[in-house]
Structure 1
Amino acid sequence: MERSVGPGMSTTGSTPDADETCAYCESPIFAHDPICVRDCDDDCGSPAYFCNYACLSAYVDERGLPAGNACEWSPEE
C-alpha cells in the first residue's frame, strides 16, 4: 500500500503481525484500536505500533517528544 504524506513524499505500509504488541504497554495491539507511527524525519525507520491513542500520547509525553517540534507563536507578533 502506497500512501502520500506530503509533496514528493510517500510511505509504504503493511499489516503488522497478529501478535504485535504495543510499544508503550506491551498489550496485543489488535485487542484495541491500533495505530502505526513512523519517524519520517529519519528515513521513515521501522514502525512503532500502539494499541490506542492513549498509549501513543503517554509514550510521546514521557519521552518529551513534542519539545521543540512545534512552531512558536507569540501574541505580540
Structure 2
Amino acid sequence: MSTTVSTPDADETCAYCGSRIFDHDPICVRDCDDGCGSPTYFCNYACLSAHVDENDLTAGNACEWSPGE
C-alpha cells in the first residue's frame, strides 16, 4: 500500500473548527485502517484532540499499553 504526499490548498479549513489550517499549526491525519483514504486536516492539536474525544475514536485502540505483553 502506498500513500501520496501532497500539500493542501492554501485555503484548506480545519475539519473541526473551520479555521484556515495554515493560519495555525496544521496537522494531517489519515485513517489507515480504512485504506488510507483522503487526509483530514486540523488547524492544531487542540482541534484534533477535541475531534477524537467527541467521536470516541480512542475506544478499542492502543490507549492501554502493557509493556509485559
Q: Tell whether the structures are fold-level matches, with TM greater than 0.5.
A: yes
Select the residue among 36, 61, 65 that pairs with 2:57: 65
**Structure with greater proportional helix content:** 2
Aligned residues: 67
Structure 1 stretches of at least 4 aligned residues deviating more than 3 Å after TM superposition: 71-74
User: 1:21-43: CA deviations, max 9, x gaps?
Assistant: 00000000000000000000111
TM-score by length of 1: 0.78
Higher strand share: 1
Gaps of at least 5 residues in structure 2 are none
**1:69 counterpart SS class:** coil
Over alpha carbons, which structure has the higher Rg? 1
- Percent identity, please: 85
1:7-58 CA distance string (max 9 Å, x none):
xx54221000011000000000000000000000111011000000000000
2-side partners of 1:73 and 1:39: how far apart? 21
**Higher normalized contact order (CA 8 Å, seq sep 6+, divided by chain length):** 2
| Equivalent of 1:18 in 10, 21, 28 | 10
RMSD over aligned Cα atoms: 1.8
Q: Does 1:33 align with 2:25?
A: yes
* TM-score, structure 2 normalization: 0.86
Q: Which residue of structure 2 lines up, in the alignment, with residue 6 of structure 1?
A: none
**Unaligned 5+ runs, structure 1:** 1-8
